[in-house]
Amino acid sequence: MSQPSTASATKPIADTNDFVVKFANVNGSGSASANELFARAVLRMGVPVCSRNIFPSNIQGLPTWYEVRVSGEGWLGRRGGVDLMVAMNPQTWNKDLAEIEQGGYLLYDSTKPLTSQKLREDVTLLGVPLTQLSNTLEGTIPRERQLLKNVIYLGALSALLGFEAAVVEELIGRQFKGKDKLIKLNLRAVELGHDYATKNLAGKCHLKVARADKVGDRIFISGNDAAGLGAVYGGATVCAWYPITPSTSVAEAFTKHCKKLRVDPVTKENKFAIIQAEDEIAAIGMVLGANWNGARAFTATSGPGISLMQEFFGLAYYAEVPAVVFDIQRGGPSTGMPTRTQQSDILLAAYASHGDTKQVMIFPKGPNEAFEFSALSFDLAERLQTPVFVMMDLDIGMNDWLVEPLKWDDARQYDRGKVMTAEELDGGKTFARYLDVDGDAIPWRTIPGTHPNKGTFFTRGSSHNAYAVYSEEGKDYTEVMQRLLRKFETAKTMVPGPIRHDAKAATRWGAIYFGSTSVAMDEASAKLEAQGLMVDTLRLRAFPFSDEVVDFINAHDQVFVIEQNRDAQMQKLLVNECTIDPVKFISLLHYDGAPITARFITSAIAERMSVTRKEAAE
């Protein structure tokens, strides 16, 4: 963030389709819908936006922010810094003021004159008497007027930034569809703000949104919503979950989509079962029971849930029961920062539970992959007969992202893996639950009830031989444990491979990243390349790491590993599982709970590269 100076010389920022607006509100004050409307209005103008909700772990009365980046170039990560602050929360005035870029703007409620508040000479004040204007709205109660203040500043912004009137009207019409009285009232509020700004603030704001054609048919959706939908498409029928921020909306999305897509039109019966469990241990237990019994089942949780589910993860790994677990990561450890983002459950998931285990993880970069990988994970879990962790985070999960429309290939078919049928059993196929008959270390299973007298077995977390019989024999135990290692090798060939992008010119520098870091990383590499700094990049999409990952690392002298946690957890995995000399890696860690920014990555990499350059020069 740039240090505010008091130099009155600074010129106000002038920019079109490339700036950041941040709304500072009090939560529970109804600002959310107005702010989202703002973002959608920019989209309607054909200009890409990305928005981030920074909210407290409470229901009403604490500070909350909504950051909207307007980016004609289409950058979807956080940029860092704020050009226009809509300061609606006296509690955070100073902090908000300080965050504004040199020559930026501040919109505030000018009903009461500014007296005690701090100000900055370089920041242009945009005063709108929101309270006063809202009081002019006839037939409204205080609570309504409170809400409408937000709509009034939306109107003012539409004037200041130059939205087409139709855009806002259409959105309001859509939002309050059917409720004409409300539509009128809100349009009136927009008008109030718009008129006031036009009359009193004309020419004061040099940030503009100009009609463009950069949005196309893209959709604006959150990762959790997409993941929930992906589970519907992936054939999940059982969802057992326990509420926890930021994962709750995965189960809620699955519920919403199931009610639309999975209710039998005739019988009105549900082709799904969703249980709010009593806690996370029960949730994962239900998921294992359902998968064991041949249904595709999943749970969605966050860090604390992952901790509580440890014992069951060990059972699932060792007894080879499929399961899909969405981990929408938040700030840890412990209760930590429930409403902030982090990528800090990686090690706990990778080696979950006591004893030796290795777990499969996939890392969606955003809503599209959240949808695709969600569906894919059910195939993976059944093919590999093991839990699959879909590692997302609050940033992907709870923010709306502007992304390509979701796609589904109707030719695609569910792959249930090695499930032996009654026919096969009758056909004389011999069944041994934990025997590696195909050489890929994946054994065959049967679903309870399959056959009257063939193919039953006993599932247990205690030591067993290849025939699922209880055994305390060292060699029976090690046989199974070694096969599990080989099965993990097989997993490498099934999970989504990494995505490599090479810089324009050959380089000894590489950068590895994953998940929600991707949008910021895309922008950072472009910026670096523009500065003539060449970095090849590799986006990890799964654990275990396939050979391309090792090749990429070996192909570079120095590799940045960019993570949103304190302890470089992914790097630890890379070092151990790919047998890499740790000195090869430079970790860039961003873990204050706010999504990583393009600025952070760009400057950190640039700085480090120039340092080594100098060293080389000396």
What binding mask, one character per residue, do residues 458-477 give for another protein by CB under 8 A, x or -? xxxxx-------x-------
Coil, strand, or helix at residue 400?
strand
Shortest distance, position 100 Cβ to another protein, whole Å: 21
Site for a second copy in 573-612 (CB under 8 A): 575-576, 579-583, 591-594
d(CA 588, CA 354): 30
In DSSP notation, 219-285 reads: EEEEHHHHHHHHHHHTT--EEEE---TTTHHHHHHHHHHHHHHSB-TTT--BS-EEEE-SSHHHHHH
Residue 590: name the closest of 551, 564, 559 by CA: 564
DSSP 321: -
- 245 makes contact with another protein (CB under 8 A): yes
Of the listed pieces 290-298, 344-352, 491-499, 605-613, which binds a second copy according to CB under 8 A?
A: 344-352
Cα distance between residue 140 and residue 120, in whole Å? 36
- Applying CB under 6 A, the site for ligand SF4 has a residue count of 2
Q: Pick between residue 277 and residue 553 the one whose CB is nearest to ligand TPP.
A: 277
Instruction: Give min distance, CB of 335 to ligand TPP, in A.
Output: 6
Which of 331, 366, 397, 515 is in the footprint of a second copy by CB under 8 A?
Answer: 331
C-alpha distance from residue 608 to each of 155, 187, 560 (Å): 45, 52, 10
Cα(326)–Cα(240) distance, rounded to whole angstroms?
11
- The set of residues, in sequence order, having a beta carbon less than 8 Å from that of 40 and lying 6+ positions away, is 171, 220
Which lies closer to another protein via its Cβ, residue 115 or residue 267?
Answer: 267
Angle at 538 between CA 536 and CA 544, to 5 degrees: 150
Q: Does 269 bind another protein (CB under 8 A)?
A: yes
> Should residue 56 be labelled a site residue for ligand SF4 when binding is judged by CB under 6 A?
no
Is 351 near a second copy (CB under 8 A)? yes
CA 246, CA 341: separation in Å to the nearest integer? 9
Site for a second copy in 36-75 (CB under 8 A): 56-57
Q: Tell me the window of 302-310, 389-397, 411-419, 597-605 that interacts with ligand TPP (CB under 6 A).
A: 302-310
Classify residue 67 by burial, with Cβ atoms within 10 Å: 0-12, 13-18, 19+: buried
Phi, psi of 215 (to 5 degrees): -100, -35
Which amino acid is residue 406, in one-letter code?
A: L
Question: How many residues in the chain?
Answer: 618
Using CB under 8 A, which residues numbered 322 to 361 contact another protein?
Answer: 334-335
Candidate residues 2, 5, 94, 276; the one interacting with another protein per rule CB under 8 A = 276
* Closest distance to ligand SF4 from the beta carbon of 28 (Å): 8
Given candidates 61, 173, 216, 243, which one binds ligand TPP under the rule CB under 6 A?
243
Stretch of residues binding a second copy (CB under 8 A), selected from 156-164, 194-202, 456-464, 610-618: 456-464
- What's at 196, amino acid-wise? Y
- Identify which range of 159-167, 290-298, 332-340, 363-371 contacts a second copy by CB under 8 A: 332-340
Q: Minimum CB separation from ligand SF4 for residue 60, in Å?
A: 6
Q: Does 244 bind ligand TPP (CB under 6 A)?
A: yes
Nearest Cα to Cα of residue 392 among 334, 349, 335: 349
Residues 57-76 that bind ligand SF4 (CB under 6 A): 59-60
Inter-helix orientation angle 569-578/547-554, to 10°: 100
- Token pair of 124, please? 């242009």
Q: Is 304 in the site for another protein (CB under 8 A)?
A: yes
- CA separation, residue 100 to residues 106, 245, 395 (Å): 8, 29, 22
In the complex, least distance from residue 591 CB atom to a second copy, rounded to whole angstroms: 7
**CA 315 to chain CA mean position, Å:** 28
- List residues near a second copy by CB under 8 A: 56-57, 302-304, 306-308, 310-311, 314-315, 317-319, 329, 331-340, 342, 344-345, 347-348, 351, 353-358, 460-463, 472, 474-475, 477-478, 481-482, 485, 565-567, 569, 572, 575-576, 579-583, 591-594
Which residues lie near ligand SF4 (CB under 6 A)?
Answer: 59-60
